[in-house]
Amino acid sequence: MAYDEKLIAALKSKAKTLRRDTIEMIKAGGAGWLGGSFSQADIITALMFHHLKHDPGNPKWEERDRLIVSKAHCCETVYAALGEAGYFDKKEYRSYGKFGAVLQAHTERIVPGIEYSGGSLGQGLSFALGEAMAARIGRPTPLYRVFCILGDGECNEGQVWEAVMAAAHYKVDNLVAIIDHNKFQSGSKVEDRINLIPMVEKWQTFGWNAVEIDGHNYTEILTALENADKTPGQPHAIVAHTVKCKGVPAFEHKNLHFCKLTDDMYAEAMAVLG
Ligand SMILES: Cc1ncc(C[n+]2csc(CCOP(=O)(O)OP(=O)(O)O)c2C)c(N)n1
């Protein structure tokens, strides 16, 4: 599908802002989830600033699409998107991770716009499935769509595959799972743990309409999201190939999972994002 160049340029610019604000939060908090926040930044941007139906002035609007970030440790780019969209004042970034602050190091529903309090991996897809099924009760068409971002390492955890089976069985077609396939989890490569690669075939075998894309290419992200809307009768999985730490070349492909930000790293990042 072809998209307006101005739209793509605007989304790229937003993603740069999200990555820059993520760095500012991690600097303020002393440490943070750099790698997985940066790998999902383009997906979050495409959802929040183009695809989702939502209203920052009315975060609890009943008809809003739900964004469930199951890899809830990667909170900084989510906060950055919400702050940028106007859900809360960006000055909250300065207290990120501090005792008593609203913005903590895993997403919590206390924050306007956050749908899911997480931290224990492997549970968000079940939560998302419940939300998606609720949107269908007593209605010919669902009241809203539900998007769930999972980590690839997370797919080793918890209830992920129970939710996958149930969603296919009940043909929950207003549910879209997006797997941030950055090939790393906390301490190692995903393939060196319980290997789920190749990933897309597994979701297909379980009955999902599953595709794989480049998770940093906006044309591919937007096309996959639109195609999900046009394909009824099955839940949808988008396996997004991403790069951990994408956005600052010196960091890319490194497993900066939960890390401190040295002054040198801050300067390196700001030279690209500032
Ligand atoms: C149930 C559970 N087990 C272990 C952890 C510790 N943990 C935090 S992040 C992480 C790795 C997650 O890897 P992935 O889902 O690939 O995330 P990403 O690389 O995108 O940050 C682990 C194991 C956890 N939060 N929850």
Write out pLDDT tens, residues 72-114: 999 999 999 999 999 999 999 999 999 999 999 999 999 999 9
Task: Say if residue 1's pLDDT is above 90.
Answer: no
Q: How far is the CA of 189 from the centre of ligand 1 (A)?
A: 12
Domain map (residue ranges) of the chain: 5-273
Whole-number average pLDDT of the chain = 97
Class for the domain spanning 5-273 = alpha beta
What percent of the chain shows pLDDT beyond 90? 99
Q: How far is the CA of 185 from the centre of ligand 1 (A)?
A: 6
d(CA 69, CA 178): 10
CA dihedral 80, 58, 46, 145 (to 10 degrees): 130
pLDDT bucket at 125, cuts 50 / 70 / 90? very high
* Model pTM score: 0.98
Ligand 1, residue 122: give the atom nearest the CA. Answer: 1
CB distance 27 to 35 below 8 Å: no
Nearest CA to ligand 1 atom 21: 36
d(CA 81, CA 79): 5
Nearest CA to ligand 1 atom 19: 185
- Of the candidates 173, 117, 152, the one whose C-alpha atom is nearest the C-alpha of residue 239 is 152
